[in-house]
Structure 1
Amino acid sequence: MKLFNLEEKNTSVKQEMMAGFTSFFAISYIIVVNPLILADAGMPAQLSVFATIFVSAIGSILMGIWGKAPLVMTPGMGVNAFFTYTIVGSMGLSWQEALAVVVTSSFIFIIIGYTNISTLLVQAIPDSLKHGITAGIGLFLVMIGLENGGIIVDGGANSFVVLGDLTNPLTLLALLGITLSAVLYLRRVRGSFFIGIVVVTLLSLVLGAHTPGDSSFSLSNLTEYPALIGAFDFSSAFTIPFILAVFSLTMILIFESIGLFEGMLEDKSRFKNAFRVSGVMTLLSGLLGTSPTIPAAESASGIKEGGKTGLTAVTAGVLFLLSLAFTPLLAYIPNAALAPVIVITGAIMMENLQHIPFDDFSEWLPAFFIVVMIPLTSSIVDGLAFGFIAYPILKLAIGEIGTVKKEMRIVSFLFLLTMIAIAVL
């Protein structure tokens, strides 16, 4: 297909579509989880599910055709929590006013995307931090996958996490899936991750280890969905909470997107258009009635499956649209089937640690902060903040502040302001 330059990228329609299927199934939980989180902000979950599907479908298709990147766009986990529990919960804005915050942030995002500012920001980030971002996102995915598979669980008051119940059939199936997927990946079998998902799903159903849950999703609610479109409210636009919310959300969206692009986008020439797609999708998210979309970290699973072009993202986008009718079928896929894909993808991303100069502590420590703080805080932007703030401080300590680009110093200061603003709020 000429649109996606498949021959130039040494790939095929089959390979790209398989990658798209893998990415979709790895992130499909967002269809259910995002509406549940937004419900805590007062938004009707039965309608938010449509907003989630539509922005994911539109965003992924735009990313594939315009951005020409194999990245799936979905409402961001962490971003939706910030929308619900900080902007609405802590700052006291209504969900309609929070949508206005999203729309306002999107204009700033788009302006940065259509100027050289985004390029300057990326060029200012040291390579050690870029590799740290990739590894940190990888470790984050590993923890998500292990938790979804029941291999690690919340340790309660006595421990952060502990080993899960290894007598649980689903946990054993997750371990089997990791082993199978790893072997197939090492043997370079095409569709290795997708095969793992199918095998574990079938085994879980045959053995009776997984019982599909009831889905409250109903296509009949679609006629009520227009109530969310354009529901934003700018009545508090000139208040301090609104302004602080715009500043914090803008910082989160811009640098989480940069971090994810740097971590997953192998063809860096696609960055500019991909970044612009993110900005446009932030605007559409506010207009369509949901928290902002970002490139999903789970897109890495499709990339590792062989996705190299925008056809991967378009395939996932089409699957999101089809999910309008087939969402209940997703209940048949247990977390144990998705966990192996996420774990192995994360492990592969962590290979970037080898490119960080461990013999230079001023480079390693900031990267280390990013690597550990992303999973420990369950927030990519919080992890970035620790590393970005530490970097110029350590360079100043050893008399090498001159090697830090001025754009990097500004970004570090803005991260510091963001952390202060969030802490005060």
Structure 2
Amino acid sequence: MTAPDRPGLRPKPPPPEPRSGHGTLDRYFSLSARGSTWRREIVAGASTFLALSYIVVVNPAVLGQAGIPRAAAFFATAAVGGLATMAMGLWARLPFAVAPGMEMNAMIAFSVVGALAYTWPEALGMVFWSGVAMLAVSLLRLREAVIDAIPRRMRTALAAAVGTFIGLVGLQIAHLVVTSDGRLSGLGDWTGSPAVALYVGLAVALGLDALGARAAAVLGGIAAAALYCAFAGVTTGPGPDGLHGGGAALLRFDLTVIADPKAWSVILVLFALDFFGSIAKVVGLSAGTPLQDGTGQVPGMRQALLVDAGATVAGSAAGSTSFVAFVESAVGIRAGARTGIAAVVTGLLLFSCLFLGPLLAHVPVEATTGALVFVAVKMLTALRPVGTDRLGLAVTAAAVVTTVATLAIDQAMAAAFVVSTGASVLRGRRPHPALWVTTLVLTASVLLQYLSL
């Protein structure tokens, strides 16, 4: 009589099968393959949202200077940004948030409408056409070709530029530095409440990180800074009024502006900012993370670029300027985001702002500054030079210095390409043809920005 046949004994039941839905989602998002967990992705997605939540208040305020109804700009920011970020997670399966780029909204408000005297419907028409051009080059995989041609030293330089930019955003929000016309113009108040909020958040984040609490470092820093802001009375001012008036700019863009030759230079500048800025951000954010495969490429890149371009087209129809992959995604990536699940969480929270608009007035944007500077510090200290190549160090230095001088990722990218390509020529080497073309186009786009606006 075998053991299972003995009276009173039952065979040991087999282990339970994993739920099919859970296993399917795990495989779809490569959750286990990238060494992540559901909890980590959800916390990281929330971290990204907290870091970029200021955009739902700041973007309408900036575009309001151009005459765009603030309620419409708020609706476009939350609705289009939320849906695009969810699409980034579900289709591209990457943890990148999508939101209106600050460099674009300032350009539209103060240069295109303010200086060039275009109406805001005409300005939104220019944004629309730049988005259409972005869709075209993304479908033709031209942006992917540029990304594939970027050498390793350039990827390190772009990661350094993105890290520097994130840190400068935190310093600017905390009023530690002052900007004028999109450029650093001096030091601000290093003893005021916003500055102290940064110090508190950064200190808590660094302390928790030293204890190995990766996600808790970011969330703890934001929570500590928010608590300080509550006691210090630091607020962001009046918040948006929910869905009321959200359709005021719907389809109000003026597409006939394409017939105006003077508008072409603006469209080209918007296109260049989006084209090269998105490349720099995606490459910089993914550098040194499991988001890249063994060859240094980012799976889902084509889908991510199409989401970015499609969001710009949709955003212009709703009342906002160009949408981009947001550098604050680095906060979630630092907290452990490795899959599109984090982006879905961020997108849902961003979309929920449509129904929680009045509460945003009580969310101090200064509470996020410590987390932003913390992520910048971790990104920059994690960089490793490529061998002992002094050219790599020179390219990285050029990108960082240009970022500080211009607060523009695309111009930092241009500086890195010029130094790398120029040094290769002086050394008697022949750069890849794609690098030649990219260097020339980048240089031309930067010159066009300064000459036309």
Residue matched to 2:250: 229
Q: Which runs of 5+ in 1 are unaligned?
A: none
Residue matched to 2:50: 25
Q: CA deviation at 1:291?
A: 0.4
In structure 2, give the amino acid aligned to 1:227. Answer: A
2:385–2:393 CA contact under 8 A, matched in 1: no
Q: Does 1:215 align with 2:238?
A: yes
In structure 1, give the amino acid aligned to 2:400. Answer: V
The alignment-based identity, stated in percent, is 23
1:374–1:382 CA contact under 8 A, matched in 2: yes
Q: Deviations over 1:222-251 (max 9, x none)?
A: xx3323121121223132222222222111
Residue matched to 2:16: none
Residue matched to 1:141: 166
1:78 to 100, 103, 112: 103
Q: Which runs of 5+ in 2 are unaligned?
A: 1-21, 292-297
Q: CA deviation at 1:357?
A: 5.4
2:164–2:400 CA contact under 8 A, matched in 1: yes
Residue matched to 1:41: 66
* SS of alignment partner, residue 66 of structure 1: helix
Q: Does 1:345 align with 2:375?
A: yes
1:357–1:364 CA contact under 8 A, matched in 2: no
Q: CA deviation at 1:335?
A: 3.9
In 2, the alpha carbon distance for the partners of 1:7 and 1:276 equals: 26
Q: CA deviation at 1:281?
A: 1.3
Question: Pairwise mapping of residues 260-299 of structure 1 onto structure 2 (< 5 A)?
Answer: 260-265=281-286, 266=289, 267=291, 268-299=298-329
In structure 2, give the amino acid aligned to 1:251. Answer: A
TM-score by length of 1: 0.90
Residue matched to 1:129: 154
In 1, the alpha carbon distance for the partners of 2:307 and 2:247 equals: 24
* SS of alignment partner, residue 247 of structure 2: helix
* SS of alignment partner, residue 317 of structure 1: helix
1:57–1:317 CA contact under 8 A, matched in 2: yes
* CA gap 1:212/1:169 in 2 versus in 1, 3 angstroms: closer
TM-score by length of 2: 0.85
Question: Pairwise mapping of residues 254-265 of structure 1 onto structure 2 (< 5 A)?
Answer: 254-265=275-286
Q: CA deviation at 1:13?
A: 2.1
In structure 1, give the amino acid aligned to 2:210. Answer: L
Residue matched to 2:444: 417
In structure 2, give the amino acid aligned to 1:230. Answer: L
In structure 2, give the amino acid aligned to 1:78. Answer: E
Residue matched to 1:407: 434
* SS of alignment partner, residue 97 of structure 1: helix
Residue matched to 1:198: 223
Residue matched to 1:364: 393
Moved more, 225-234 or 70-79: 225-234
Residue matched to 2:352: 322
2:126–2:257 CA contact under 8 A, matched in 1: no
Q: Does 1:89 align with 2:114?
A: yes
In 2, the alpha carbon distance for the partners of 1:34 and 1:163 equals: 22
Residue matched to 1:64: 89
Residue matched to 1:181: 205
Q: CA deviation at 1:368?
A: 1.7
Q: Does 1:14 align with 2:39?
A: yes
In structure 2, give the amino acid aligned to 1:215. Answer: P
Q: Does 1:384 align with 2:407?
A: no
In structure 1, give the amino acid aligned to 2:421. Answer: P
In 2, the alpha carbon distance for the partners of 1:5 and 1:359 equals: 35
In 1, the alpha carbon distance for the partners of 2:194 and 2:115 equals: 38
1:175–1:340 CA contact under 8 A, matched in 2: yes
Q: Does 1:253 align with 2:274?
A: yes
* CA gap 1:352/1:251 in 2 versus in 1, 3 angstroms: farther
In structure 2, give the amino acid aligned to 1:102. Answer: V
In 1, the alpha carbon distance for the partners of 2:148 and 2:239 equals: 47
In structure 2, give the amino acid aligned to 1:141. Answer: I
Residue matched to 1:313: 343
Q: Deviations over 1:140-194 (max 9, x none)?
A: 21122233334x24399xx95447443x455334323211111212222243211
Q: Deviations over 1:312-345 (max 9, x none)?
A: 1111111112212323333334344211110011
1:396 to 421, 425, 431: 425
* CA gap 1:147/1:105 in 2 versus in 1, 3 angstroms: closer
Q: CA deviation at 1:138?
A: 0.6
Q: What is the total number of aligned residue pairs between the two structures?
A: 414
Residue matched to 2:403: 374
Moved more, 113-122 or 386-395: 386-395
